[in-house]
Amino acid sequence: MRTVPFIRTKRRSSLFSEMARWRAAFQLFGWRGWAVAAIGAGATLVLIGVTAGIISNPLFARETPVQTQDYIIWIATALLMGLVAGSFMASRVKGGSGKAAAGGFLSFFATACPICNTLVVSLLGVSGALTYFAPLQLYLGIASVALLLWTLHLRLAAMGRNCCVIPPETSQAQGALSDN
């Protein structure tokens, strides 16, 4: 029984250290990074919301009602896509854009009307889309949010590695001090 609190303490300290790293990386965003994050989140909301039929518009009519999970996945995707976009302004480190695009693509499939999607209907038919694809949309949404979280984690970790480089003079001077 004594090992359980130790395991919890170990996980908690790891979680807190990760949160501290994320907070430090978010502090590097600056006003330009936060502006890009807000614009990216807004653009994602509009792009996915209009094409998935979550936002009523004359271009697309949704045949099935919007579910609560669709709203949650839609908003979480927009926030994460905005933060990923903002991380590109805060750091010149490349990478992660493919994972972000895949996460956005999965999010669209997770929130869109299952029988309005021509790809799904052409592969499964209308009854197959409602029977097989509609129940999978929740899992697609979870995968989308998880992929975007992983992308954001990798972006922020890369920012943290590149912002705190010790100059060579300092490391040599510290080595000389430790020899004495």
Asked whether residue 22 is domain-assigned, the answer is: no
Q: How far apart are CA 61 and CA 64, in angstroms?
A: 9
32, part of any domain = yes
Parent domain of 144? 28-162
pLDDT for position 1: 39
Q: How much is the pLDDT for 71? A: 94
Based on the structure, what is the number of domains in the chain? 1
Please state, in angstroms and rounded to a whole number, the distance separating the CA atoms of residues 82 and 80.
5
CA distance 20 to 84: 18
pLDDT score of 11 more than 70:
no
Indicate whether 37 belongs to any domain: yes
CA-nearest of 68, 66, 30 to 50 is 66
47 in any annotated domain: yes
Q: Quick check: is 82 in a domain?
A: yes
Residue at 79 is within a domain: yes
The model's pLDDT over 68-84, given as tens digits with 9 standing for 90+, comes to 999 999 999 999 999 98
159: its two tokens:
């920012």
What would you report as the CA-atom Rg of the chain, rounded to the nearest whole angstrom?
A: 22
Q: What is the pLDDT of residues 80-128, one digit of tens each?
A: 999 988 888 876 666 666 777 788 778 888 888 888 777 888 888 888 8
Tell whether 2 is covered by a domain.
Answer: no
Check residue 96 and give its pLDDT. 61
pLDDT of 19-43, one tens digit each?
Answer: 777 777 777 778 888 899 999 999 9
DSSP string of 53-120, one letter each residue = TSS--SS---SSPPPHHHHHHHHHHHHHHHHHHHHHHH------HHHHHHHHHHHHHHHS-TTT-HHH
Per-residue confidence (pLDDT) for residue 168, from 0 to 100: 54
Q: What is the pTM of this model?
A: 0.73
Look at residue 134 and tell me whether its pLDDT is greater than 80: yes
Is 172 contained in some domain?
no
